[in-house]
Amino acid sequence: MHGVERPLRSRRRARGVLWMLLPVAVTAGLFWYGRAHTPDYTSSLFGRRFDDANLLKAQLGTALLGLALVQLLLGLWMYGRLPGVRAARRPVRTGHRVVGVVAFLLSLPIAYHCINAYGVQVTDSRIALHSFAGCFLYGAFITKVIVVRHRRLPGWALPTAGGALIVLIALLWYSAALWRLNGYAVPGL
């Protein structure tokens, strides 16, 4: 019996390592592509180019930040972490998933334009922060999906993964959307 358990444990461990490497591979792949790719500054977003595209991305990014905050509130409600409010029922869980899918889909055209028009740049602190946060965002998203699907992980894993996503979205918004909407300036960068 022990001879059968050992290969099974080894396969589970190997699968666990592969699951842990997937977010790293996505983050590294985006970084590599963004550095190796020649930026196309004339790239359009829904037919808008240059500053018009950046304004649209700032508006979409603001909507994305709003959805991330809704996600946070729904997550806190689902797990009974809102003061004075009981844990949520099934419709809130469904709403949490729907908002998450909408947020992910909304992020895709923004990210596509960013990486194709500008790539990953490290020329100054604002742009470097934005580039790194953008690469890490999709690794963090995959991490959250993995954590949600693997129920045997410690209880702190899900709030950590969800919190990382919200922090990354906030950093992206701060370093680009707020910068654009605030007349090309943000405090501290």
Q: How far is C-alpha 43 from the geometric centre of its chain's CA atoms?
A: 23
d(CA 189, CA 179): 9
Q: Which residue has the tokens 């829904």?
A: 46
d(CA 75, CA 96): 7
Contacts of 83 (CB under 8 A, 6+ apart): none
Q: Are 111 and 137 in contact (CB under 8 A)?
A: yes
More reliable by pLDDT, 13 or 179:
179
The whole-number pLDDT of residue 4 equals: 56
- Please write the tens of the pLDDT for every residue from 63-120: 999 999 999 999 999 988 889 888 888 899 999 999 999 999 999 999 999 999 999 9
Contacts of 67 (CB under 8 A, 6+ apart): 99, 102, 103, 106
∠ CA(126), CA(26), CA(67), 5° rounding? Answer: 60
Distances (CA, A) of 9 to 3, 20, 100: 10, 16, 33
Q: Are 87 and 75 in contact (CB under 8 A)?
A: no
The whole-number pLDDT of residue 85 equals: 87
Q: Are 119 and 34 in contact (CB under 8 A)?
A: yes
Q: Which of 31, 54, 41, 64 is nearest to 135 (CA)?
A: 31
Q: For residue 1, is pLDDT > 70?
A: no
Domain coordinates of the chain in residue numbers? 2-181
Six-digit token string for 7: 């290969």
d(CA 76, CA 71): 9
Q: For residue 11, is pLDDT > 90?
A: no
- Please write the tens of the pLDDT for every residue from 113-148: 999 999 999 999 999 999 999 999 999 999 999 998
How confident is the model over 24-50, as a mean pLDDT? 95
Roughly what angle, to the nearest 10 degrees, separates helices 90-117 and 50-78? 150
